[in-house]
């Protein structure tokens, strides 16, 4: 499979050197994900690396062409800018914060690499609109997910599947049946489930789970999952697709999807939706000597707040 991938990349105009840079970056992310931290004895000091993590972080730094000291600093130390004079303060991160920043760094690199690859593929197969006759569109999404514990990731995936289901129903079954009826054809009517009520619950305006979630993020206050659960139930109680697991001690809500009921945990959902990218993480990537990372994170593209 690896050789098939390489051959496909050659056909798309991605030379061997660029391929190797891609694989180096991906390998660096794998090693970065293995870096584990332990709480320091002195809270004024950065988190300590577990013994086995030292080799992982060194390898990750080498593959990403980032000095290990700089890599460790942006993961373990938070930079705070305050005051009218924009004074800069540095504060050691907790173990949980270090893990979040490590994952954030990996995600932003992977996301940029993915977007760049899609752009390269599109440029390679592009033809002038004047000679278009037809096209092939590829849509690659996760299937419907329902795990013992579900959070924002599963909510977004299942929302996408709900939209696809609605598109299929509205643009195929419903339209086809209306056409048959207009032509006076005799046939057996197919009963289908309209999932608009579920979509209104997730994405509707002015009130929906997404709108309430975004509002919580804009308020920029400490997340209170019990209060958030109460807000959801109070605002959306009239929607029959909403319920909750009253036997669970964890704040949650249940959505009746077209494919079945899914219980979503509210813990950390607000934080995941914020998904902020600390500016210092972007800066360390912009300063990398790796040619691919320099292309993905040009110096002119200064820090974004979120992905």
Give the start-to-end residue ranges of the domains of the chain.
Answer: 2-128+276-296, 152-267
Determine if residue 65 is left, alpha or beta; phi over 0 gives left, psi from -120 to 50 gives alpha, anything else beta.
left
Superfamily assignment of 2-128+276-296 in CATH?
Answer: Myosin VI head, motor domain, U50 subdomain (1.20.120.720)
- pLDDT (mean) for 170-177: 79
Q: Tens digit of pLDDT for each residue in 242-281? A: 999 999 999 999 999 999 999 999 998 998 898 788 999 9
Residues in the chain: 307
Instruction: Tell me how far apart the alpha carbons of residues 62 and 26 are, in angstroms, rounded to a whole number.
Output: 12
pLDDT at 192: 74
Expressed in angstroms, the distance from the first to the final Cα of the chain is: 31
Query: Quick one: pLDDT at residue 298?
Result: 93
The pLDDT mean for the chain works out to 90
Please tell me the predicted confidence (pLDDT) of residue 222. 73
* Same fold? 2-128+276-296, 152-267: no
Q: pLDDT at residue 19 above 90?
A: yes
Show the DSSP H helices in 39-174 as ranges. 53-64, 68-76, 95-125, 152-168
CATH of domain 152-267: 1.20.58.530
Rg (CA), the chain: 24
pLDDT bin (cut points 50, 70, 90) of residue 293 is very high
Q: How far apart are CA 182 and CA 295, in angstroms?
A: 56
Q: Report the pLDDT value the prediction gives residue 129, as an integer from 0 to 100.
A: 75
Which pTM value belongs to this model? 0.74
Task: Assess whether pLDDT exceeds 80 at residue 121.
Answer: yes
């Amino acid at each position: 499979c690896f050789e098939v991938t390489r051959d496909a990349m050659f056909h798309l105009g991605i030379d061997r050197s660029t391929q190797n840079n891609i694989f180096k970056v991906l390998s660096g992310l794998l090693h970065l994900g293995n870096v584990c931290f332990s709480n320091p004895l002195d809270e004024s000091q950065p988190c300590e690396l577990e013994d086995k993590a030292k080799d992982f972080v060194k390898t990750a730094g080498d593959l990403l062409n980032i000095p290990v000291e700089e890599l460790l600093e942006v993961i373990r130390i938070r930079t705070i800018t305050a005051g009218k004079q924009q004074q800069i303060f540095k504060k050691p991160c907790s173990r949980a914060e270090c893990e979040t920043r490590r994952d954030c760094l990996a995600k932003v690199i992977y996301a940029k690499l993915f977007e760049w690859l899609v752009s390269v593929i599109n440029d390679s197969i592009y033809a002038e609109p004047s000679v278009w006759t037809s096209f092939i569109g590829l849509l690659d999404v996760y299937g419907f997910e329902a795990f013992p514990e579900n959070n924002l990731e599963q909510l977004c995936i299942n929302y996408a599947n709900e939209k696809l289901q609605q598109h299929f129903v509205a643009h195929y079954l419903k339209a086809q049946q209306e056409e048959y009826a207009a032509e006076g054809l005799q046939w057996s009517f197919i009963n289908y489930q309209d999932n608009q009520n579920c979509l209104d619950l997730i994405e509707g305006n002015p009130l929906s789970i997404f709108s309430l979630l975004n509002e919580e993020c804009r308020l920029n206050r400490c997340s209170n999952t019990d209060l958030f659960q109460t807000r959801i139930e109070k605002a959306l109680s009239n929607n029959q697709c909403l319920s909750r697991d009253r036997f669970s001690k964890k704040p949650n809500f249940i959505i009746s999807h077209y494919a079945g009921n899914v219980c979503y945990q509210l813990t950390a959902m607000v934080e995941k939706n914020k998904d902020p990218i600390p500016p210092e993480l972007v800066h360390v990537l912009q300063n990398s000597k790796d040619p691919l990372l320099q292309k993905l994170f040009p110096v002119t593209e200064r820090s974004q707040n979120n992905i």
